[in-house]
Structures are given as C-alpha cells and as structure tokens.
Structure 1
Amino acid sequence: MLTSSEGKGASGSHRSAFASPEFRRYFPAAIFSTLGSWILRFLLGWSAWDLTQSATWVGIVAGLLLAPALVLSPLFGIVSDRINPRNGLLITLGLHAALAGMAGLAVVSGLFALPVLLALSVALGIASSAQTPVRLALIPSLVPRISLPSAIGYSAITFNTSRILGPALGASLIQWSSPAAAYFCAAGLMACGIPFLLGVSGRQPDAVSASRSGFFDQLRDGLRYTRTHLSIRLIFGFTLINALLGRTVMELLPALSGVLLRGDSSTLATLTAAAGAGSILGGVVVSRQGSEESRLVSLMLACLAAGAFLVTALGWTSQLISFACLIGLLSTATTIVGTSSQALAQLQVDDEYRGRVLSLWTMLAMGAPAVGALSLGMLADQFTFPRVLPAFSLLALIALAYLNRHRVRQP
C-alpha cells in the first residue's frame, strides 16, 4: 500500500537500470525510436502549416495525432497483456518507420497533399496509441523491481530530450536539405532501433489467462481491478491533479507568454527551453530513486504542493528571467510527479493487468491536460490569469489534502 514500505513496496536502495543487460540492450532502441518519433510529429505539424497556412488545420492534425490514444489505448492495453510486449513494440516501431518513409516518398513524388497528411496523421495516432501501452508493459520486464523507478526516470529523460532535439533537428533538415530528407531521416532513425529491440527477450504472456476470457471480458476485468484497487485509484487521483495543474500550464505557455510577458516568439522559445531543461532534471531525479514506495509518495506529494505555489507565483511575475525560472521549476516538479506516479502504478499493479491499468493511466495523463487547458484558457479570458492561476492552485491543494487524507487512512 501507499502508506508504508511493506508488502509490494518493500525495497532496498537505488540500483541503476543500466545494471540490467536487458535494459542496456533496450535503451538505444528507445533513443532512436523516440527521437525519430518527435521529428515525425514536428514534420506533420509543419507540413499542415506549409500546406494550408491555417492554424485550424494545424490544430486538426495535432488532434488526429492525439485522439486515437484517448479512445484506443484501453483496447491496446488488453493486447499488451496478451502478447510479448517486445513483439508489439517491434510492430509499432516498424509502422512508425513505414509511415515516415511513405511521407517522404509522397513528398518526392509530388503527391503530398492535405488528404495524404490527414491520413498519415490518423495512422500515426493509431500506431502511437498501440505503442505506448506495450512500451509501458515492456519496461518492468527489463529490470528487477528495485530498478524500476530508475528505468522510468531514464525513459523520461529520453522522451523529454527528444522532445527538444527532435523539432530542432527536423527544422534544420528542412532548412538545409528538404522536407523529404527530414521524413526519410525520421524513418531511418526509427528503423535503427529495430536491431537493438531484437536483442531484448521481453515478457512471455500468460496464455492460460488470456484464453479463459474474451477480449471485452478482459477490458471489464481491467476496469474492475482498477476500481477496486484503492492504491491505484489514489495514484490516478494524484496523476489527475498533476495533469490539471502543472501539465495544463505547460500546454498554455504560448498564451502565458503573450498575456503576462507581452512576449514574442523568442520569449516563447526561452520559456520552452526552460520547460525542457526542467523536465530533463525531473527525469534525472526520479532515475536516482529506488523502489521504496513511501519515498516515491513523499517526493510526489512534495512536488505537487510545490507546483501549486509555483503556478500561483506565475500569475504575479512579469520579468522574463524570473518567469523562466518558475517555469523550469514547475516543469521539474511536474515531471517528477508524472514519472513517480507511473513508477508507483507499475510497482502496485499485478503483471496480468499491467497493460490495461497503464493504458488507463496514459489516457488520464494525456487527456486531462487538454481539458484543463481549455478550461483554464476560457476562464483566463474572462477573469485574467493572475486571478485564475491562484484559484486553480487552491483547488489543487484542496484535492491533494483530500487524497492524502484517504491515503493515510487506507489499511
């Protein structure tokens, strides 16, 4: 349980994930695939603007990349519980590389138009919604339990570093070469990850469990398991607070930059860089943790509370350097909470439900910031950011106190 280090939470000190040969074989695949994926996502967004000069179509493409995960993740979570996640990751990585290659060929042949872009965006969204559950289900099979937070932390570092480098590399390739070359580069990077992934054995599925019940019966079992598992419900609650506070603020950086700082594109670039640096630092912090749940919970709660105060401070800051420092600290706290909550969910869940539970965690972590950004943005237009940000922070602190009270009382 989340109240002590007993039972599942019992653990020793920190042990690096790189001490495990399986993780060492997997990590280069993660680097290549994540960097290639971020280049591809950037290129699709850039292509939407290049083809239409319309912010609406850019938003539609972004929505098509995200929406399938919100709908299909639970179904692919079931799949990841029925197969070896390594094999699922091989398939989805191959699909990502193929889609990038198809985009490059379409550009070269002169066939790259808006319908092709929309079709590629939908296909990539579906492939990504399949990849996330199998990747999350694979990681615990690569390391011993004590190294799980370290593995998740290093995965977060890879993700957030690629989120910064990918768009920069994609933009440079467009400027110095061509869009087709950029698409082919993304395809090549993702293809480079496949040989490393072939060296990973992964986890064999529980064939007996999978054969006992149908696909949708397993979906219901996963939902019932999550609903009746108090610790996992609490972890989901903390994840929701983080998504609606820190993650939401990160989604609204362009608006915050324009309204509170009266900034331009260089101002936004500075804030984005600060957020990126903070997220990398947050991943480093979690990568140094062991599997003692009480320590992870304390770290998560402290960062959630700190995040609420940082969000409040943003509303009353008008100097770029101070604002960038607050954003960097908030990004660090938000990343620590996100990776810690994922680690806690991984430590709590039974293997046979891992894919299904983590697919629900993914839906919550990805979908809530979209709702939060819409709500916070509308309220800020009506009441201004300096009033709305403290209100959001206060609500987050109240929810945090409520969940922590239930955590302390759980048996």
Structure 2
Amino acid sequence: MSGRARPSALAPFRIRNYRFQWPSDLLTSWAFEMETIVLGWYVLAETGSVLLLTLFASLNYTGTLIAPLFGVIGDRLGHRDLLGIMRASYAVLAGTLMTLALTGHLTPSYVLIISAIMGLVRPSDLGVRGALVANIMPPDQLISSISVSRTTMDIARIAGALSGAGLLAAAGVGPAYIVIVSLYVVSTWLTFCIVMSAKRHLVDEAAGGMPRRSPLRDLSEGVEHVWTSPRMRAAVWIAFLTNLTAYPFSNGLLPYIAREIYGASQAALGYLSASFAIGSLIGSVILSLIGGVRVGRLMIGATVMWYVALLMFAQIQSVPAAVACLMLAGVSQSMSMITIAVVLMRTAGEHFRGRVMGVRMLAIYSLPLGLMAAGSLIDEVGFIATATLYVAAGLALLMAITLHWRADLWHVHAPANAK
C-alpha cells in the first residue's frame, strides 16, 4: 500500500531516551501539581485571604524573566544536564518544606519564601524539557512526541490534584510532602539516565578555535531569532495573552473558587483541578493520533474555544456543571499550547531551540500579573464580573493578533499551516 502510515501515540517510545524523559517529566509535573494543591489550600485556610493566595500562585513564576538565560545555559551546558540540576533543586526545596511541616514549624511566611525561591527555577522546566524533546526526537515525529510529552502534565494534574487533595485531607501537609520529595528524587534520577549524542560535543570541538561568546550575546541572538520570524512572534504573543487572561481561572484561583464560590471541601478542589487535566489529556491524545492538521489555524481556533469554555464556567453555580466546563477548557487549552510549541520548534534553528523556548517562557510572566490583578478585581466587583472581563479582553486581543498576522497564521498556504 502507498498510503501514509497512521500516526501512533506510542511511536515516540521507540526512542530509548524518550522512554526515560517521559516518566521523568510525569513525576516532576505530578509533584508540581501536588504542591500547588497542598500549599494553595494551606495558605488560604491559614490566612483566609484571596490576595495572599494569588500572591502564592504568582511566586511560582518569579523566574519567568530569567527563563531566556536558562535557555542560553541549556544550549551551552546541555539540556539534559540543566534539567537534572533543576530537578535536584526542587527536591532540596521540597525537602525543606517537608522538614518544617513534620516538625511543626511551617508557617505561611515560610511557604511564600520557599515558593519564591523555587519560582526562580520552576517556570523554565517546561521550556527546557521541550528543547530536550526536540533534540532527542526525529523531526518527523515532532508533533506526536510533543503531544505525548504534554500528556505528562495532563496525567500529573489528574493524579496530583486527587492525590494531593486526598493526602492533605487524610494526613496533613507533612505526609503529603514525603510523597512530593520522593517524586522529585526519582524524576531527577530518570533525567540523568538520558544519554545525549556526541554531536553537540563534536560541534563545540570544531568551534574550539573561535573566541567564546558572552551569554548576553547568545541571549540577544535568541530574542532576535524569535522577533524576526512573524510566526514565532505571533505564537509568543498568544502564549502571553492566554497566561494573562485564561490561565488564572483554571490554575491559581481554583482553591478560592472551590472554597468561596461553591463552599466546597478539598475533595471538590481535586475534582475541579482533575477535570481540567482530564480534558487536557484528551486534547493531547487526540493531537498525538491525528496527522495533517493545519497548526496555525488550530492554534487560533483552540484558543477561541478555551475562552468560550471559561466564559461558561464563570456563569456556573454548581460543581458538576463546572467540572464539565473545565473539561472542555482543558481540551482547548492543550491543543492551543501544543500547537504553539510546534510552531516554535518547527521554525527555530536547531542551535536556537533552548533560547527560543526560554523566550517563550517569558510569556508566563503575564500569569502572575493576571493572578494579582484578578485577586484585586474579585474583591472589588466579584468573581463573575472579573472572569467575564478577562474573557472579553482575551478574545478581543486574540482577534487583533490573528488579523495582524493572518498571512502567517490563517491563510491555507501559510508556513504555519503546512501539513
């Protein structure tokens, strides 16, 4: 038969390195989600302040401004080594919180301080793992491998939300952190099991006679590489916009929504968080199985559907209906984020991938800004009005981006839509 082979979600696992990276990413993301649930509920329960809750959630992204520097380090040191060092630091910081909780010395102040320190490193994890996937996988498997890689975050959010909420309710913060630290330790070991090819070292040796360039020059070249490509610039702006106006309502504000809007317990928080993750997992699996999609158009269409689902979610007053809306939002969010990553990795030069993903991580900086603004607005005008305002602003700005870069994103023959 002469037809093209049907895509397989399991195809990336034929690559040995991918078989180590996927579970490593899964365990890291699982620990991230457990920490978000456990500490978010702890801060809200101890202080009763939505502003402190949004401050805690925002501190997890303090390092977004230095994310491009992690890209530079990854391009020089190697993405595997950098990722392993980062994950070892998560284990050390989580171990500190575990010790404080088990000895009865944990306070909201300590949580905020350690979250700020971890937030210097944590935002870059997604970008470095994306660059590593692009380096270890064949180009013709990029969409499938990125989609399957994305399932680590989706599965982890389901498992992390349910296990984090369950352990917190049953045993408290200390025992929950014993599990979190264990996840970080195993994920670090799996990361260092990845074997990188000697290709990079051969290139470095060939360039050994050339003067070593400064990191700032490498960084400026990475920013220029993104900014001179209309496709990459548009993708980064969409990432910035969704982090500012969409993610706050399916991420940092969920403890407030569960506790104050629905008057529910930690279990309901777990269900809400898991439903978004289940939808996201469905979206990732769908993209890993289908081929020939027009990536640019799908990126825009999925983002629109994400906002529509959030608008419905804002009007809902019951947990079961909210779960359905968040599941739809999760499907759309997954497709939006995967297509953004594919556009960037397809367009970026091989030796710029770390820096390009670092620049993309800068877009996450809008999430803490959106969270803090939402916390203030909710106190002033209420949750429904704030969510509606965010969705309206997001849709309007998305349409402006689409119109400005329509030749690069929407036209059938645009490079972003190449099958």
What is the TM-score when the length of structure 1 is the normalising length? 0.81
Letter in 1 for 2:27: F
**1:359 paired residue number:** 358
Structure 2 CA distance for partners of 1:358 and 1:211, relative to 1, 3 Å: farther
Q: Is the 8 A contact 2:31 2:160 kept in 1?
A: yes
1:155 corresponds to which of 124, 143, 149: 149
Q: Does 1:381 align with 2:387?
A: no
Note the 1:77-92 alignment, pairs <5 A.
77-92=71-86
Q: 1:321 to 1:22 in 2, by over 3 A?
A: same
Identify the range of structure 1 (188-197 vs 214-223) with the bigger mean alpha-carbon deviation: 188-197
- Mapped to 1, the partners of 2:98 and 2:387 lie a distance apart of 45
Distance 1:152 1:128 in 2: 19
Match of 1:73 in 2: 67
User: How far apart, CA to CA, are the structure 1 residues paired with 2:7 and 2:94?
Assistant: 39
Cα offset, 1:43, TM superposition? 3.5
Change (3 A) 1:242 1:288: farther
Amino acid of the residue matched to residue 289 of structure 2?
Answer: R
Whole-Å separation in 1 of the counterparts to 2:404 and 2:192? 42
Shift of 1:288: 2.3
The whole-number CA distance in structure 2 between the counterparts of 1:316 and 1:189 is 37
Q: Which amino acid aligns with 2:80?
A: R
Query: Aligned-pair distance for 1:350?
Result: 1.0
User: Which residue does 1:131 correspond to in 2?
Assistant: 125
Could you list the runs of 5+ residues in structure 2 that have no partner in the other structure?
Answer: none
Change (3 A) 1:34 1:248: closer
1:45 aligns with 2:40: yes
Q: Partner amino acid for 2:16?
A: P
1:27 aligns with 2:22: yes
Range 275-284 or range 394-403, more displaced: 394-403
Is structure 2 residue 198 aligned with structure 1 residue 200? no
Is this contact kept in 1: 2:234–2:401, CA < 8 A? no
CA contact (8 A) 1:36 1:186 kept: yes
The verdict on how the C-alpha distance between 1:39 and 1:219 changes in structure 2, with shifts beyond 3 A counting, is same
| Alignment CA distance shift 1:240-1:289 (3 Å) | farther
Secondary structure, aligned partner of 1:154: helix
The residue identity in structure 2 corresponding to 1:224 is E
CA distance in 2, matches of 1:161, 1:342: 19
Q: Deviations over 1:2-58 (max 9, x none)?
A: xxxxxxxxx986353122222112222222222223323434334445655554444
By how many angstroms is 1:189 displaced? Answer: 1.6
Look up the match of 1:14. 7
Please state how far the C-alpha of 1:143 moved relative to its aligned partner.
1.5
1:113-128 residue pairs with structure 2 within 5 A? 113-128=107-122
Query: Which residue does the alignment assign to 2:330?
Result: 331
In structure 2, the CA distance between the partners of 1:181 and 1:356, relative to structure 1 (3 Å rule), is same
Secondary structure of residue in 1 paired with 2:196: coil
Instruction: Work out the CA distance in 2 between the residues paired with 1:191 and 1:127.
Output: 16
SS at match of 1:61: helix
Q: Distance in 1 between matches of 2:42 and 2:391?
A: 38
Superimposed CA distance per residue, residues 176-198 of structure 1 (whole angstroms, 9 cap, x where no aligned partner): 44533322221112212233223
Amino acid at match of 1:282: G
Superposed, which structure 2 residues align to 1:160-199 within 5 Å? Answer: 160-199=154-193
1:283-317 Cα deviation digits (max 9, x unpaired): 21222245x6x622232233234345445555666
2:222 counterpart of 1:222: yes
Query: CA separation in 1, counterparts of 2:317 and 2:101?
Result: 44
| CA shift for structure 1 position 322 | 5.2
The percent of aligned pairs where both chains have the same amino acid is: 21
2:15 and 2:249 map into 1 onto residues whose CA distance is 36
Residues 14 and 239 (structure 1 numbering): CA distance in 2 closer, same or farther, change over 3 Å? farther
Q: Is the 8 A contact 1:45 1:61 kept in 2?
A: yes
- The one of 51, 59, 69 equivalent to 2:54 is 59
- Classify 1:186/1:392 alpha carbon distance in 2 versus 1 (closer, same or farther; 3 Å): same
Q: In the TM superposition, what whole-angstrom CA distance separates every residue of 1:307-345 from its partner, at most 9, and x where no partner exists? A: 454455556666765554333222211221111111221
Q: Is the 8 A contact 1:72 1:129 kept in 2?
A: no
User: Residue 366 of structure 2 aligns with which residue?
Assistant: 368
Give the SS at the match of 1:106: helix
Letter in 2 for 1:238: I
Cα deviation code 1:237-282 (max 9, x no counterpart): 33344445543553566787899xx633267665444322211212
Q: Measured at CA, do residues 303 and 47 of structure 1 come closer, stay the same or move farther in structure 2, by a change above 3 Å? A: closer
Gaps of 5+ in 1: 1-10
| Structure 2 CA distance for partners of 1:127 and 1:320, relative to 1, 3 Å | closer
The answer to whether the 8 Å contact 1:240/1:368 transfers is yes
Q: Is contact 2:54–2:372 with CA below 8 Å preserved after alignment?
A: no
1:102 Cα shift?
A: 2.4
| 2:331 match: secondary structure | helix
The whole-number CA distance in structure 1 between the counterparts of 2:315 and 2:43 is 36
The answer for the alignment partner of 1:287 in structure 2 is 288
Provide closer, same or farther for how the CA distance between residues 99 and 24 of structure 1 changes in structure 2, counting only shifts above 3 A.
same
Shift in CA distance, 107/307, structure 1 to aligned 2, threshold 3 Å:
closer
Matched, 1:98 2:96: no
Whether the 8 Å CA contact 1:89–1:134 is kept in 2: the answer is yes
Describe the shift of the 1:228–1:136 C-alpha distance in structure 2 as closer, same or farther (beyond 3 A): same
- How many residues end up aligned between the 2 structures? 395
8 Å contact from structure 2 (residues 60, 123) kept in 1: no
Structure 1 residue 113: deviation in Å?
A: 4.1
Paired residues of 1:138 and 1:202 also in contact (CA < 8 A)? no
Between stretches 345-354 and 108-117, larger displacement belongs to 108-117
* Kept after mapping to 1: 8 A contact 2:90/2:184: yes
TM-score with structure 2 setting the length:
0.80
Q: Distance in 2 between matches of 1:276 and 1:393?
A: 21
Output the CA distance in 1 between the equivalents of 2:22 and 2:304. 32
Preserved contact between residue 241 and residue 400 of structure 1 (Cα < 8 Å): no
Aligned AA for 1:368?
A: S
Larger deviation: 305-314 or 273-282?
A: 305-314
